[in-house]
Amino acid sequence: MCILRAEHLCKSYSSSEGILNILDHVCFQMKQGEKVAVVGPSGSGKTTFLHTLCGIDRPDFGIIQIQDEELSEMSDDALSLFRRKYFGMIFQDFQLLESLNVKENILLPLILAGRGEGEQKRCLQQVTSAVGIEKLLDKGITEISGGQKQRVAIARAFIHRPALIFADEPTGNLDCKATTDVIKCMIEMSDNYQTSELIVTHDLYVASFCDRVLMLKDGNFTGEIYKQEKDFEKKIMSLMFQSGGGCE
């Protein structure tokens, strides 16, 4: 079953060098429970693609359908409510609120949705034990490590059991060990919660955990590799080198 469908997405920005076409008629589909990685060199438009799909930014042209709802026709308010209900977001720089502690940060989506205390408590317990941060709940954001922060961000993204997780370079600020922990955690959570995941990354190691890898270059997809394919990892590597990307 298709959960996300994007057709002919276009997005451009004006700069001192003229108009830059970041997305040029991009078409994309994603199945329920599928984990997709979008890779590409810096400046290829990965983040713009992700922001456009999750409604943080609007496309200049094109259609985005999520669970049969047309995103590009929604008002700002309707889009917010849609995001609140169906999306979970994970960022490279965590985007946690330093004014709140770990527990409050994780609970934010439920608080915004106006869920009761009982439900908040139950969901918090489930998600924190799954992510392994039960002992950090009363700590401040500045008191925990980068890997722990990203786990908190993962817990926040999953707590309201969204249909889709959007992750923008989730391991970009982490070391090797933390990267492995975080990506494994994300995949495990996604499997447990039956959630689809779209991960934008330049890290091939991270991409290798996904069911499908898409290569974005010059505003469009230049390649697609499925995990079931033989020599999956080698193909990703060769795809990146052909595209001239500086991936790890």
Q: Does 117 bind another protein (CB under 8 A)?
A: yes
Q: Which stretch binds another protein (CB under 8 A): 3-11, 20-28, 50-58, 182-190?
A: 50-58
Cα 110 from Cα 100, distance rounded (Å):
15
Record the tokens describing residue 27, joined without a space: 């078409």
Q: Does 68 bind another protein (CB under 8 A)?
A: no
Q: Does 99 bind another protein (CB under 8 A)?
A: yes
Place of tokens 């370079």: 169
Where in 153-182 is the site for another protein (CB under 8 A)?
A: 156
Nearest to 221 by CA among 35, 29, 20, 89: 29
In the complex, minimum distance from the CB of residue 79 to another protein, in angstroms, rounded to a whole number? 9
In the complex, minimum distance from the CB of residue 99 to another protein, in angstroms, rounded to a whole number? 4
Q: Which residues contact 24 (CB under 8 A, 6 or more apart)?
A: 10, 218, 219, 220
Q: Does 17 bind another protein (CB under 8 A)?
A: no
In the complex, minimum distance from the CB of residue 197 to another protein, in angstroms, rounded to a whole number? 17
Place of tokens 């990703």: 236
- Residues 85-118 as b/e (b if ≥16 CB within 10 A, e otherwise) read ebbbbbbbebebeeeebbbbbbbebbeeeebeee
Q: Which stretch binds another protein (CB under 8 A): 107-115, 170-178, 181-189, 240-248?
A: 107-115
Pick the closer one to another protein by CB: 89 or 236: 89
In the complex, minimum distance from the CB of residue 43 to another protein, in angstroms, rounded to a whole number? 13
In the complex, minimum distance from the CB of residue 5 to another protein, in angstroms, rounded to a whole number? 21
Cα 62 from Cα 14, distance rounded (Å):
19
Site residue total, another protein (CB under 8 A): 32
Q: Does 107 bind another protein (CB under 8 A)?
A: yes
Q: Which stretch binds another protein (CB under 8 A): 6-14, 94-102, 173-181, 182-190?
A: 94-102
What's 160-217 look like in SS3?
Answer: CCCCEEEEECCCCCCCHHHHHHHHHHHHHHHHHHCCEEEEECCCHHHHCCCCEEEEEE
Residues that bind another protein (CB under 8 A): 16, 51, 56-57, 76-77, 80-85, 87, 89, 91, 95-100, 104, 107-109, 111-114, 117, 120, 156
